[in-house]
Homo-oligomer: A and B are copies of this chain.
Amino acid sequence: MPDRETELFQWPVRVYIEDTDAGGIVFYANYLRFMERARTEFIRDLGFPRIETVDESAMFVVHSLNIRYLSSACLDDELMVTANVVKVGKTYLDFEQQVWCGERLLTDAQVRVACLNRLNRRPSALPDSLSHRIRARLRESKIS
């Protein structure tokens, strides 16, 4: 098991009946909802109260993702969702994300989030304020 003490960011998620399916487990698409919540809270934790406050001309979309489903979550489970930036690209962020239920790893995923120009929807450089704060956070997490 990876050392979760060194994770950049973690966010707790409770499983409600809305998240489950007739198989008695969390529906596979809903882990993407949980991972998006963790990424959003990571950005908020960096000091941007709303994503639009980073830069009004920028928008962020998921460009691609890989996900493995290793074990299932059930109703009422308390999950922990991680959001680690592993690469700060010119026009994108690469996240490594995991969903844990206690010591049990449920899913892990690589998610690329791209920055687009809101008007023409073409790739756009990450706002400086965002990449600076992420790099600062990455340095802190390596030192501590």
Interface hits, A48-82 → B, CB 8 Å: 49-51, 59, 61-69, 72, 74-76
Task: Name the B residues within 8 Å of A24 (CB-CB).
Answer: 22
CA gap between A21 and B33 in the complex, in Å: 12
Known pairs A33-B29, A76-B50; A63 contacts B59 (CB<8 A): no
Task: Name the B residues within 8 Å of A61 (CB-CB).
Answer: 23, 28, 69, 72
> Closest CB of chain B to A8's CB: distance in Å?
19
Contact in complex: A21, B17 (CB < 8 Å): yes
Known pairs A17-B36, A29-B18; A67 contacts B65 (CB<8 A): yes
Contact in complex: B40, A17 (CB < 8 Å): yes
Contact in complex: A23, B29 (CB < 8 Å): no
Contact in complex: A75, B28 (CB < 8 Å): no
The answer to whether the Cβ of A30 comes within 8 Å of any Cβ in the partner chain is yes
Task: Name the B residues within 8 Å of A65 (CB-CB).
Answer: 66-67
Contact in complex: B69, A64 (CB < 8 Å): yes
> Closest CB of chain B to A91's CB: distance in Å?
15
20 contacts between A and B (CB under 8 A): A17-B36, A17-B40, A18-B21, A18-B27, A21-B21, A21-B22, A22-B22, A22-B24, A22-B75, A23-B61, A28-B62, A29-B32, A32-B32, A51-B76, A62-B69, A63-B68, A63-B69, A64-B67, A65-B66, A66-B66
